[in-house]
Amino acid sequence: MKCIVVAAVSLTALAACATPEDGSPLRVGGFAPFSPDKPQVYIVSVGSQVQLVVDQDPLPFERNTGTRKIKWKLRDSDYRLERIEIQPDAQGNSPSRGCAGDHADDSVFECQNDTSIVGSFKYSIRATPKRPGLPTPAVPPLYRHWEKTMKPMIALAICSLAVASGCAELGTRAVHCDVGPVSVDDRAHAKSDEINVYGENKWICWTLTKSTYRFQPDSIQIDDPKADAFANCKKGDKNGELDGPDLIRCKDKNPYPARYKYEIRLYDQNGNPGPRYDPWVVNN
């Protein structure tokens, strides 16, 4: 009940506070009951900008209940639901057995969810306007898609939404970067060949800019000879923190000054290896 109550308060605060120029808090309103098989997607107006909101997070499923179809529905006729992509976990496991749009209805996107793959999985979502002049929705933090082994959970949407001072903020999953994001191009070249890090326990972020490639959990491979300088992303590991296919994070414990060679690995959209490059992290 606590999750439901907190979510209801957040949505009420949004309706009261995040009011655009035309006076309408939401372009389209939400409704219950909530179903993990049929999440509803909304376009939320904040001033002159718009954001994507899903009516529930996480999406809970009982384990070993077969392959379940998840059908997202965009509740705004001025936009099309362009893409849903379920991300693998740090071990490379993914419950996705294929995702595709509905050719007859561009407001619908479906994924086949294998509930025998147990864990917590993030997914990205993208929508685009159908006609010129409409703003493109900002890409939100990745929503979480959960298969639960114990009691189900119910929660409402998360959204990367900045509201006016004094208004309640929706429960966002913010991406924390102490250093960066460092831009990476289609050749896997980082914007800077050296990343300088000052202070302990800093998150370094890398982001792909307009790339045809994507990151995987092993896309950052840091040569940490003593295995004590980095909490993840060490050479041979597959545990980079993915926040979508175009952003990855590694935690630098920075216990002492040193230079570390690391490798950037890119993958194509089918998961095949792509370009690689070897820059440096410098701990100061």
Q: How confident is the model at residue 33 (pLDDT cuts 50, 70, 90)?
A: low
Q: For 257-279, what is the mean pLDDT?
A: 93
Which two three-digit tokens encode residue 265? 């690995």
Separation between Cα atoms, residue 152 and residue 60, nearest integer Å? 6
Question: Over the stretch 203-216, which tens digit does the pLDDT of each residue have?
Answer: 999 988 878 899 99
**pLDDT computed for residue 4 by the predictor:** 19
* Domains of the chain: residue spans and CATH: 2-148 (2.60.40.420), 179-283 (2.60.40)
Give every strand in the sheet of 241-242, ordered side by side.
179-184, 202-208, 247-252, 241-242
**pLDDT computed for residue 88 by the predictor:** 85
Question: Over the stretch 6-16, which tens digit does the pLDDT of each residue have?
Answer: 222 222 222 22
